[in-house]
Amino acid sequence: MEEPLNQPNFEAGRGGRSGSSRPRSAESANSGHANAGVDQPHAVFEILGQAYPDAHCELDFSSPYELLVATILSAQCTDARVNKVTPALFAKYPDAAALAGANRAELEELIRSTGFFRNKADNLLKLGPALLAYGGEPPKDIDELVKLPGVGRKTANVLLSEAWNIPGLTTDTHFIRLSNRLGWVKTKNPEAVEREVGALFDPSEWNRLDQRLIWHGRRRCHAKKPACGACPVAELCPSYGTGPTDPEEAAKLVKE
Ligand code: SF4
């Protein structure tokens, strides 16, 4: 297995936190885990895989077209909210041709609750005709996908990985936050995170890594108050202590 390019700084999370309820010290964690001292990224990957064996994209879809539309709607919105909107949306606009002929007012009303609905309607109204130029289906090529209205690298990578199981790292807000907290990168630039974290893992691992980090970010490693005291990778995390370390307090923060 390849050496990681960025060795995590295990000192980073420990200053001024003596007496915390960390289960073991970083040093003992390293010695207690077969690979942790030399391959923390893969140790985290494996542990999160055990913690979230069913990690998957939480948007509901039945085709690449539906996934693309749902992903565009998920900007600044929860997947759960998008999933409430898309059944009626896909019933009315089941394909690119129907979307191309959508009435703006009707479309806006259907997607209003996802927020930023006017901008999203703009993109969807342009997306229909743009997809027709590809035969009505999203292209399986990131360079072509990012030419579509409302589609950046993040959305394009969702399509690649979830619709076709092509390796792609979706550097959403959770992925970027966790990659920094775990010591893998020191940047919030999505493309730099994609490039640097991508270099730590084999492309065959990217899709699973993506889902595991995103699930962990949604359930435990929250932006404001991460549940450090209830975190399966606490022993390996240089940011341990960013959130409550008391197990009972942390358990209350966990969202299942
Ligand atoms: S919850 Fe705390 S210990 Fe776990 S990954 Fe996030 S910052 Fe690190």
The CATH label, of 3.30.70.60, 1.10.1670.10, 1.20.120.450, 3.40.50.1010, for the domain at 26-56+169-251 is 1.10.1670.10
- Cα(35) to centroid of ligand 1, in Å? 19
pLDDT of residue 219: 97
The number of C-alpha atoms within 13 Å of 151 and in the hemisphere containing its C-beta is: 27
Residue pair 156/169 in contact (Cβ under 8 Å)? The answer is no
Q: Is the CB of 211 under 6 A from ligand 1?
A: no
pLDDT of residue 256: 82
Domain pair 26-56+169-251 / 64-164, same fold = no
Measured CA angle at 90 (ends 84, 216), to 5 deg? 45
Catalytic pick among 147, 154, 186, 225: 154
Whole-angstrom distance between the N-terminal and C-terminal Cα of the chain?
A: 32
Identity of the residue numbered 53: P
172 included as an active-site residue: yes
Distance CA 33, CA 164 (A): 35
- Cα(157) to centroid of ligand 1, in Å? 25
Distance CA 156, CA 176 (A): 17
- Full pLDDT tens readout for the chain, 256 residues: 322 333 333 333 333 233 334 444 333 333 344 444 559 999 999 999 999 999 999 999 999 999 999 999 999 999 999 999 999 999 999 999 999 999 999 999 999 999 999 999 999 999 999 999 999 999 999 999 999 999 999 999 999 999 999 999 999 999 999 999 999 999 999 999 999 999 999 999 999 999 999 999 999 999 999 999 999 999 999 999 999 999 999 999 999 8
Question: In terms of residues, how long is the chain?
Answer: 256
Ligand 1 atom at minimum distance from 233 CA? 4
54 included as an active-site residue: no
Nearest to 166 by CA among 131, 138, 200: 138
Domain extents in the chain: 26-56+169-251, 64-164
Q: Tell me the CATH architecture of domain 64-164.
A: Orthogonal Bundle (1.10)
Q: What are the strands, taking DSSP E only, across the chain?
A: none
pLDDT of residue 38: 58
Q: Is the CB of 243 under 6 A from ligand 1?
A: yes
Question: How far, in Å, are 58, 74, 237 from residue 117 at the CA level?
Answer: 21, 11, 38
Q: Is the CB of 215 under 6 A from ligand 1?
A: no
